[in-house]
């Protein structure tokens, strides 16, 4: 057990989940068995709910793999030496080459207080705006779209709108997996009000489609055409709020003119959708006042992301459906503090408190308020340009905080090369090894989620406290403090002498009110001058919170926006031209997320129950493409782009469109041999927002000719020399999927070196090249290796559950080597419910026994009754089993088989 649980810290702490932008309230409780987390019923975002990632938080707070001491090179050093090295490198570069020769690359996973001081240091004291954030890869197009339309980066609505809408249109959002608690709130509202409709606009049929009445599987990046068509349709049908448009907006004529007279046939051609499904969608929007359009990365991460945002907003302006219950455009944020980062000015074109670098008045306000020696006078480098500027020799010192650009930036090999080349690189992280940290000259150990104190803002502008419940481990320090120490060492001690996050928050709150008086949306001056105790006890609160006046609520109900004339702007947008694909790279590469992993897996990768859901990198391919390319169900595939190649498992599914392939971006050099999908992604950006197009790249796909496949379970990670390996965490060890195109000459030798035993229990069928090895010590299984010329047929969930177990009998050992669970222990199949470890086969059996609803499956197996994140998958399984059973009655003989036992990603999800 973690030594820190013996500390004198409180037993029960209210805090906020450190994953997605839903911003769920969490209660951490210390029990005899260690820390437990659960949803906070008093928090308005989640009202007690959590998803699978939130539910597994306690499994991620151990100290294994943590960075605990500052390091220079590979040597542990004192904090003083580390701070001195960073401050020295930055000061020297500034003296010699000027302020624009240094940069920070930060993250929506910093707390507001961390973020605020980083931005203050760069823009007010160093005097450059070269601070950008991974939100550039995430929210920049929404920010730019909001600013074009509203004059400010304002999310008008509240989560209550999800429940109050009659029509919810989800665009480029896999809400079921990426904002699971919002998905649950939406599902519950729909169950309560069956008349409510949900439309999903996504090229893939994701788990979110489970609640959709209509799924529009449009062509990649054809959203502008779809929403321009909608704008025309609304205008034609007279669904226009003339009073609102006349009094509160500008530019409607130009927007309508640009949208043209796109009739259904044109939209159908541009989007690849059928005219009748488009007509149905348009009809529903036209008839439904309470229409809410929720959108996410399928919109933002595009070369036309900002135009997509404005195409959506245009339809809400035309109908006056904004700022009122159940209606409006709603950009959901990704990271826990993506919104807070926008507020503090983390983007290189913003100043703190939603002020603009380009606005001289705002620059004056910031400089005066900070009593700063200087103020950045022009926008700094945006993420993609920043790493390019390193190649050009412009950046001499870079500090990366709470992000892993070597894996998450497009053109990742080139970004990694920049990290290698930059004359000075400091990295603040909580873990000891990432693909970014590997290149750092100075490594700074940051406090992790359970140890940090501060605030975050979620998608509905709700500010919540994150509170520490564990002491700082080793010599780790909170990010705000590391930044302030460096600032002090650079000579600005007075401006950065904060005693704690409450003092930073106070300064920030005061700044938001300076010369504001309603001219800027972001005002939290009502939270200034909180005592330390009041700050500690601060409950969740929605901004705006001006010192006097109305608090929280929706924006724009009064029709007053933040442009000069207070009118909202229609933006005339035109669909992008269809780009011709090079015949060598005929597939559209789409990238994104899976349910139970978070980004580059530095935290979720440690939780065995999360790893079990999708345990290796994969590519979703349509069956017709798989057939043409000769790719079988558990084959490996090479995906190639001009800049790189990955090797991942094929997941053949008709949820994918022909001609497209989807690969998640979670796998890194720590977890797979060649799984970094961003090494393939071109650094193409949206011209307005600078956000990279991460969802539409040209690639080639082909089958990998494996000579052998393997599956291993080991007590501890090891390094491997084979073309394909993918590692996942187990409760008491690790699992590996393996393969190579080179023959394995000596399987027994390979097994001994891998299992680190000379003596193995083994079985080999040399003719068929099947072999199995088990390392058994004192009757307990300490490791195993399965080898085969085909994808290894053994139940992963069953085999991994046996690691560390003692074998009661020789039969049991023999059954294990045969790769089959005994009759007494039916194979659960791939994990669907992470909370109760319920597999797809368990669920299938329950359905065949007559449990044909999600509720009934839950009653008998528990699956889906805790966090509920798997309910969409259970529903999908029920449909597939009942469909197959119906098929059987019609004479088809195929049994429902949800675990082919040949790979670590199930077809079912």
Ligand X SMILES: Nc1nc2c(c(=O)[nH]1)N[C@H]1C(S)=C(S)[C@@H](COP(=O)(O)OP(=O)(O)OC[C@H]3O[C@@H](n4cnc5c(=O)[nH]c(N)nc54)[C@H](O)[C@@H]3O)O[C@H]1N2
Please say which residue, 618 or 665, places its beta carbon nearer to ligand X: 665
Q: How many whole angstroms from its chain centre is CA 20?
A: 7
Strand order in the sheet with 25-31: 12-16, 25-31, 34-39
Distance CA 908, CA 620 (A): 12
Query: 487 contacts which partner out of ligand SF4, Mo ion, ligand X, none, CB within 5 to 8 A by kind?
Result: none
CA distances from 606 to 69, 178, 597 (A): 20, 19, 10
- Of 781, 732, 775, nearest in space to 754 by CA: 775
Q: Closest separation between CB of residue 460 and ligand X, Å?
A: 15
Please say which residue, 54 or 334, places its beta carbon nearer to Mo ion: 334
Distance CA 86, CA 444 (A): 10
For ligand X, the binding residue among 293, 314, 319, 335 (CB under 6 A) is: 335
DSSP code of residue 122: I
> Cis bond leading into 544, ω under 30°?
yes
Please say which residue, 321 or 603, places its beta carbon nearer to ligand SF4: 603
For ligand SF4, the binding residue among 30, 37, 38, 46 (CB under 6 A) is: 46
User: Which of the stretches 18-26, 308-316, 394-402, 712-720 binds ligand SF4 when contact is defined by CB under 6 A?
Assistant: 18-26
Please report how many Cα atoms fall inside a 13 Å half-sphere around the Cα of residue 737, on the Cβ side.
33
Q: Closest separation between CB of residue 509 and ligand SF4, Å?
A: 24
Using the CB atoms, write b or e for 260-271: b if 16+ within 10 Å.
eebebebbbebb
- Quote the tokens at residue 78: 């004192």
| DSSP SS3 for 548 | coil
50 binds ligand SF4 (CB under 6 A): yes
Please say which residue, 507 or 678, places its beta carbon nearer to Mo ion: 678
Q: Closest separation between CB of residue 682 and ligand X, Å?
A: 11
Q: Closest separation between CB of residue 134 and ligand X, Å?
A: 4
Q: How many whole angstroms from its chain centre is CA 649?
A: 21
| DSSP SS3 for 732 | coil
For ligand X, the binding residue among 212, 220, 527, 661 (CB under 6 A) is: 220
CA distances from 265 to 43, 217, 278 (A): 47, 16, 10
User: Which of the stretches 17-25, 99-107, 114-122, 786-794 binds ligand SF4 when contact is defined by CB under 6 A?
Assistant: 17-25
293 binds ligand X (CB under 6 A): no
- Of 424, 145, 110, 109, nearest in space to 302 by CA: 145
For Mo ion, the binding residue among 127, 180, 323, 334 (CB under 5 A) is: 334
Distance CA 760, CA 763 (A): 10
Which residues have C-beta within 8 Å of that of residue 893, sequence separation ≥ 6? none
What is the C-alpha R_g of the chain? 27
**DSSP element (H, E) containing 860:** helix 854-861
The length of the chain in residues reads 909
61 binds ligand SF4 (CB under 6 A): no
466 binds ligand SF4 (CB under 6 A): no
Q: Which of residues 803-842 bind Mo ion (CB under 5 A)?
A: none
- Quote the tokens at residue 737: 């999927």
Please say which residue, 327 or 597, places its beta carbon nearer to ligand X: 597
Please say which residue, 489 or 599, places its beta carbon nearer to ligand X: 599
172 binds Mo ion (CB under 5 A): no
For ligand X, the binding residue among 572, 677, 700, 744 (CB under 6 A) is: 677
Please say which residue, 223 or 523, places its beta carbon nearer to ligand X: 223
User: Which of the stretches 165-173, 386-394, 535-543, 731-739 binds ligand X when contact is defined by CB under 6 A?
Assistant: 165-173
Query: 429 contacts which partner out of ligand SF4, Mo ion, ligand X, none, CB within 5 to 8 A by kind?
Result: ligand X
664 binds Mo ion (CB under 5 A): no
- Quote the tokens at residue 416: 């990694």
- Quote the tokens at residue 815: 């059954």
**Which residues make beta-bridge pairs with 350?**
356
User: Which of the stretches 262-270, 379-387, 422-430, 859-867 binds ligand X when contact is defined by CB under 6 A?
Assistant: 422-430
Please say which residue, 339 or 857, places its beta carbon nearer to Mo ion: 339
3-state SS, one letter per residue, for 561-629: CCCCCCCEECCCCCCCCCCCCCCCCCEEEEEECCCCCCCCCCCHHHCHHHHCCCCCCEEEECHHHHHHH
For Mo ion, the binding residue among 20, 126, 138, 594 (CB under 5 A) is: 138
For ligand SF4, the binding residue among 51, 256, 504, 611 (CB under 6 A) is: 51
Q: Which of residues 830-889 bind ligand SF4 (CB under 6 A)?
A: none
Rounding to the nearest 10 degrees, give the CA dihedral for residues 424, 428, 430, 431: -10
Could you tell me where the beta strands, DSSP code E, fall in 116-164?
131-133
For ligand X, the binding residue among 408, 727, 831, 865 (CB under 6 A) is: 408
Q: Which of residues 134-153 bind ligand X (CB under 6 A)?
A: 134, 137-138
Distance CA 118, CA 140 (A): 19
Q: Give the residue closest to ligand SF4 by C-beta.
A: 54
For ligand X, the binding residue among 223, 506, 625, 635 (CB under 6 A) is: 223
58 binds ligand SF4 (CB under 6 A): no
- Quote the tokens at residue 343: 């507020």
665 binds ligand X (CB under 6 A): yes
Cβ-based neighbour number of residue 29 at 10 Å: 15
For ligand X, the binding residue among 140, 259, 292, 401 (CB under 6 A) is: 401
Site size with ligand X, rule: CB under 6 A:
58
For ligand X, the binding residue among 184, 206, 315, 884 (CB under 6 A) is: 206
- Quote the tokens at residue 554: 């929706």
Q: Which of residues 230-249 bind ligand X (CB under 6 A)?
A: none
Distance CA 553, CA 641 (A): 47
Q: Closest separation between CB of residue 609 and ligand SF4, Å?
A: 14
Query: 402 contacts which partner out of ligand SF4, ligand X, Mo ion, none, CB within 5 to 8 A by kind?
Result: ligand X
Q: Closest separation between CB of residue 59 and Mo ion, Å?
A: 23
Q: Which of residues 136-195 bind ligand SF4 (CB under 6 A)?
A: 179-181
Site string for ligand X, 478-517 (x = CB under 6 A): -x--------------------------------------
Rounded (5°) CA angle 882-886-889: 145
Query: 489 contacts which partner out of Mo ion, ligand SF4, ligand X, none, CB within 5 to 8 A by kind?
Result: none
Strand order in the sheet with 462-466: 454-457, 462-466, 541-542
Q: Closest separation between CB of residue 559 and ligand X, Å?
A: 29
Q: Give the residue closest to Mo ion by C-beta.
A: 334
Q: Which of residues 381-400 bind ligand X (CB under 6 A)?
A: none
692 binds Mo ion (CB under 5 A): no
CA distances from 682 to 406, 415, 685 (A): 14, 11, 9
- Of 444, 445, 446, 400, nearest in space to 422 by CA: 400
Characterize the bridge pairing of strands 197-201 and 454-457: unpaired
Q: Closest separation between CB of residue 200 and ligand X, Å?
A: 9
Chain contacts with ligand X (rule: CB under 6 A): 20, 107-109, 134, 137-138, 171-174, 177-178, 201-204, 206, 220-221, 223, 296-298, 301, 334-335, 401-405, 408, 428-431, 434, 446, 448, 452, 479, 590-593, 595, 597-600, 602, 665, 677-678, 681, 694-695
- The residues binding ligand SF4 (CB under 6 A) are 17, 19-20, 22-24, 46, 50-51, 53-54, 179-181
């Amino acid at each position: 057990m973690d030594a820190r649980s013996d500390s004198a810290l409180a037993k029960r702490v209210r805090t906020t989940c450190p994953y997605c932008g839903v911003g769920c309230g969490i209660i951490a409780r210390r029990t005899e068995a260690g820390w437990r987390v659960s949803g906070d019923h008093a928090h308005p975002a989640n009202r007690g709910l959590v998803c699978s990632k939130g539910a597994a938080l306690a499994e991620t707070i151990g100290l294994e793999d943590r960075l605990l001491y500052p390091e220079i090179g590979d040597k542990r050093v004192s904090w003083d030496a580390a701070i001195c090295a960073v401050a020295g490198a930055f000061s020297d570069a500034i003296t010699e080459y000027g302020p624009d020769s240094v940069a920070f690359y930060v993250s929506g996973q910093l707390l507001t207080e961390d973020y605020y001081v980083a931005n203050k240091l760069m823009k007010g004291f160093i005097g450059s705006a070269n601070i950008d954030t991974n939100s550039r890869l995430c929210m920049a197009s929404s920010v730019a779209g909001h600013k074009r339309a509203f004059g400010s980066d304002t999310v008008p609505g509240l989560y209550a709108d999800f429940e109050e809408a009659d029509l919810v249109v989800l665009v480029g959002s896999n809400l079921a997996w990426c904002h699971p608690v919002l998905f649950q709130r939406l599902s519950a509202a729909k169950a309560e009000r069956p008349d409510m409709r949900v439309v999903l606009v996504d090229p893939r049929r994701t788990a979110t489609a489970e609640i959709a009445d209509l799924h529009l599987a449009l062509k990649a990046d054809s959203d502008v055409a779809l929403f321009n068509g909608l704008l025309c349709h609304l205008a034609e049908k007279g669904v226009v709020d003339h009073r609102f448009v006349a009094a509160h907006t500008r530019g409607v004529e130009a927007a309508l003119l640009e949208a043209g007279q796109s009739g259904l046939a044109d939209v159908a051609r541009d989007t690849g959708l059928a005219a009748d499904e488009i007509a149905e969608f348009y009809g529903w929007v036209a008839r439904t006042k309470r229409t809410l359009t929720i959108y996410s990365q399928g919109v933002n991460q595009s070369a036309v992301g900002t135009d997509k945002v404005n195409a959506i907003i245009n339809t809400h302006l035309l109908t006056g459906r904004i700022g009122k219950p159940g209606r409006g455009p709603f950009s959901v944020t990704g990271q826990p503090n993506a919104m807070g980062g926008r507020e503090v000015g983390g983007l290189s074109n913003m100043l703190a408190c939603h002020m603009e670098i380009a606005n001289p008045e705002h620059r004056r306000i910031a400089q005066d308020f900070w009593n700063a020696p200087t103020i950045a006078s022009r926008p700094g480098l945006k993420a993609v340009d920043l790493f390019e500027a390193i190649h050009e020799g412009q950046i001499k010192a870079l500090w990366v905080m709470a992000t892993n650009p070597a894996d998450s930036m497009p053109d990742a090999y080139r970004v990694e090369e920049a990290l290698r080349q930059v004359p000075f690189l400091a990295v603040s992280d909580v873990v000891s090894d990432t693909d970014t940290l590997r290149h750092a000259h100075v490594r700074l150990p940051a406090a992790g989620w359970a140890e940090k104190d501060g605030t975050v803002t979620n998608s509905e502008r709700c500010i919540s406290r994150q509170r520490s419940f564990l002491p700082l481990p080793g010599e780790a320090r909170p990010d705000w403090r590391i930044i302030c120490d460096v600032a002090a060492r650079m000579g600005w001690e007075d401006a950065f002498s904060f005693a704690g996050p409450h003092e930073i928050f106070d300064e920030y709150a005061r700044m938001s009110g300076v010369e504001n008086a309603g001219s800027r949306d972001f005002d939290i001056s009502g939270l200034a001058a909180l005592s330390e105790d009041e700050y500690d006890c601060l409950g969740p609160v929605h901004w705006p919170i001006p010192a006097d006046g109305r608090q929280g609520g929706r924006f724009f109900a009064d029709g007053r926006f933040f442009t000069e004339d207070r009118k909202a702007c229609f933006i005339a947008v035109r669909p992008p031209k269809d780009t011709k694909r090079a015949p060598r790279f005929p597939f559209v590469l789409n990238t994104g997320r899976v349910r139970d992993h978070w980004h580059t897996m530095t935290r979720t990768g440690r939780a065995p129950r999360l790893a079990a859901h999708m345990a290796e990198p994969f590519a979703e391919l349509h069956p017709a493409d798989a057939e043409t390319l000769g790719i079988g169900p558990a084959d490996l595939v090479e995906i190639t782009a001009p800049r790189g190649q990955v090797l991942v498992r094929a997941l053949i599914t008709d949820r994918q469109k022909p001609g497209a392939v989807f690969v998640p971006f979670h796998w890194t050099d720590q977890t797979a041999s060649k799984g970094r999908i961003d090494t393939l992604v071109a650094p193409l950006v949206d011209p307005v927002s600078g956000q990279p197009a991460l969802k539409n790249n040209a690639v080639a796909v082909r089958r990998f000719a494996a000579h052998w496949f393997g599956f291993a379970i080991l007590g501890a990670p090891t390094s491997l020399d084979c073309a394909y390996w993918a590692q996942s965490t187990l409760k008491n060890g690790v699992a590996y999927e393996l393969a190579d195109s080179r023959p394995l000459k000596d399987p027994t030798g390979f097994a001994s070196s891998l299992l680190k035993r000379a003596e193995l229990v083994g079985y080999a069928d040399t003719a068929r090249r099947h072999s199995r090895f088990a390392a058994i010590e004192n009757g307990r299984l300490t490791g195993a290796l399965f080898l085969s010329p085909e994808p290894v047929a053994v139940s992963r969930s069953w085999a991994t559950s046996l690691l560390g177990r003692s074998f009661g009998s020789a039969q049991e050992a023999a059954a294990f080597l045969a790769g089959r669970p005994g009759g007494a222990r039916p194979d659960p199949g791939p994990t669907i419910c992470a909370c109760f470890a319920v597999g797809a086969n368990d669920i299938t059996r329950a359905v065949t026994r007559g449990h044909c609803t999600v509720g009934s499956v839950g009653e008998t197996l528990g699956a889906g009754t805790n966090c509920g994140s798997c309910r969409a998958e259970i529903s999908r399984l029920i449909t597939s089993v009942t469909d197959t059973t119906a098929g059987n009655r019609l004479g088809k003989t195929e049994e429902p088989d949800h675990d082919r036992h040949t790979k670590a990603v199930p077809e079912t999800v």
